[in-house]
Amino acid sequence: MSDRELMYREALREALFEEMELNDEVFIIGEGIAERGGSYKVTEGLLDRFGAGRVRDTPISEAGMIGVGVGAAIAGSRPIVEILYVDFAMLGMDMIVNQAAKFRLMTGGKGRVPFILRTQGGTGGGVAAQHSQSLEALFYHIPGLRVVMPSTPADAKGLLKYALRQDDPVMFIEHKHLYMNKGHVPEGELIIEFGQADIKREGTDVTLIAWSNMVPRTLEAAEELATMGISAEVLDPRTLVPLDREAILKSVAKTNRCVIVQEAVRRGGIASDISSIIQEEAFYDLDAPVQIVAGLNTPIPFNLVLEQASVPQKDDVIAAVQSVLHVDTF
């Protein structure tokens, strides 16, 4: 085992380099992704290696670039469209929802759409209501789309490489707070199949389910809970579509309690759907109702203090665990 550590953004870049070397049909387009290397420096160096034909800056037109990507995928290429903020993907929703997600079924399985939309979501840095949303539930709701939200550098690399070898459209959603995070990434080929959850921390008293930037936050909560004598298991689905229901149910059967943590607003969220799965399929394993810790039902404020108050923090996770364990918090 190598002890090599990479930043999250470096792991993504490595995946892009490797897959573009393997397959000439892979190309990437987006705003400022070529000469500038992207706002988060994920695509730095790609232009020099692969040229302007495969690494191309676009005008500020998300609808246009998403349309180009979906059309190119249908025509046989493997495009990656980078959208700076997931909020801006709303400008291309017709192409994503009505074209990419449905084309394979509407052609009787003859057509394919190997299209990846790489983007980032979530709060951080006070970039306010139109640049801070967690919109994964919108795409989770649409049959035909795959939804991927890696939390670690290794997961980011392995899942992106797997995505680039699939024939279905993938919403690959990163988080602005994760790009500089470091983690172990093994040397050589790393492929992580969709639909395989990962236990980030073993535990026996309660299952904590979280994804994307809520994983490191939940792990911090688990560390503090351990000092209180509470053993928390942290499960990261890694992909929301497909969802590893078996791993979730197995963990809940083991711990008998569950807290689900999402950065997105509570109303209509993925946490509610996961909770319904547990309630329907593991009801008799539960010793307490499932708790959901989620963002407030409000647009994200510009003010940094209010921004922090609008999404789950470590102490919110700890309080929810204490509640399902009936621990006196006073």
pLDDT, tens digit, 9 for 90 and up, residues 32-69: 999 999 999 999 999 999 999 999 999 999 999 999 99
Q: Which ranges constitute the DSSP H helices of the chain?
A: 8-22, 46-50, 62-75, 93, 103-106, 136-140, 153-163, 214-227, 245-255, 270-281, 304-309, 314-324
- The SS3 call for residue 55 is strand
> Where does the pLDDT of residue 330 fall: very low under 50, low under 70, confident under 90, or very high at 90 and above?
very low
Is there a shared CATH topology between the 5-184 domain and the 198-324 domain? yes
Cα–Cα distance, 259 to 206 (Å, whole number) = 7
Report whether pLDDT(1) > 80: no
Q: Residue 328: what pLDDT? A: 58
Per CATH, the number for 198-324 is 3.40.50.920
> Where does the pLDDT of residue 211 fall: very low under 50, low under 70, confident under 90, or very high at 90 and above?
very high
Closest of 233, 252, 181, 254 to residue 212, by C-alpha: 181
User: Percentage helix, strand, coil, to 5, in the chain?
Assistant: 40, 20, 40
> Where does the pLDDT of residue 246 fall: very low under 50, low under 70, confident under 90, or very high at 90 and above?
very high
Q: Mean pLDDT of all residues in the chain?
A: 96
Range 260-272 average pLDDT? 97
Number of H helices and E strands in the chain, helices first, is: 12, 14
For 163-209, write each residue's pLDDT tens digit. 999 999 999 999 999 999 999 999 989 999 999 999 999 999 999 99
Residues 6+ apart with CB under 8 A from 106: none
Closest of 62, 76, 63 to residue 27, by C-alpha: 76
| Boundaries of every domain in the chain | 5-184, 198-324
> Where does the pLDDT of residue 3 fall: very low under 50, low under 70, confident under 90, or very high at 90 and above?
confident
Q: Which residues pair with 55 in a beta bridge?
A: 28
Is the peptide bond between 242 and the residue preceding it cis, with omega within 30 degrees of 0?
A: yes
- Domain topology for 5-184: Rossmann fold (3.40.50)
Q: Given 131, 141, 177, 184, which residue is catalytic?
A: 131
Closest of 86, 200, 211, 198 to residue 151, by C-alpha: 211
Token pair of 78 as six digits: 């493997």
Report whether pLDDT(31) > 90: yes
> Where does the pLDDT of residue 308 fall: very low under 50, low under 70, confident under 90, or very high at 90 and above?
very high
Percent of the chain beyond pLDDT 90? 97
Token pair of 1 as six digits: 């085992």
Q: How far is CA 289 from the centre of its chain?
A: 26
Token pair of 243 as six digits: 């969802």
Q: Residue 2: what pLDDT? A: 62
Decide if 141 is catalytic. no
DSSP designation for 201: E
CB atoms within 10 A of CB 75: 8
Report whether pLDDT(88) > 80: yes
At 182, the amino acid letter reads K
